[in-house]
Amino acid sequence: MVEPGKVKILSIVYDDGDELLGGFKKALSENNVQKCRIISVEGKIKNLDINIFVGGAFTPRHLDEEYRLTSIHGIFFEKGNLGYKGEMTVSLAGEGHKMLGGDLIQAKVSGAVTIKAEVLESK
């Protein structure tokens, strides 16, 4: 359990080609995290699936090109034998000032990525 008044930050570093969301959940498990809040990200992703808001509804899109992660947020929590549940909401910048955002379904790391999360509850 995280002590009241103390902030614990988990820093997760990915290498080129790593799977972002699966790697995040694995790091939470390895560090005995029960609940966390994503607070920052640095790096780029490629070959991603994302739900974006278009015409009043979320629409899944697959994108092969590389995007820089400009912001990230979300809360993840452990659901017993169901594993970790949560959403990783991102804002992305691509070539030619192309910007988009939404809930990330899956992505591969391009180069290196670091995600920091505040641990709200631990085992």
Report how far Cα 57 is from the mean position of its chain's Cα atoms. Answer: 22
Domain that holds residue 106: 8-122
Q: Is residue 62 domain-resident?
A: yes
Establish if 74 belongs to a structural domain: yes
Domain assignment present for 3:
no
Cα–Cα distances in Å, from 13 out to 41, 95, 111?
10, 24, 11
Query: How many domains are contained in the chain?
Result: 1
Would 1 be classed as within a structural domain?
Answer: no
Read off the CATH number of the domain in which 12 is found.
Answer: 3.30.1330.80
- Has residue 2 been placed in a domain? no
User: Per-residue pLDDT for the chain (123 aa), expressed as one digit of tens each?
Assistant: 556 667 899 999 999 999 999 999 999 999 999 999 999 999 999 999 999 988 888 899 999 999 999 999 999 999 988 899 999 999 999 998 889 999 999 999 999 999 999 999 998
- Asked whether residue 109 is assigned to any structural domain, the reply reads yes
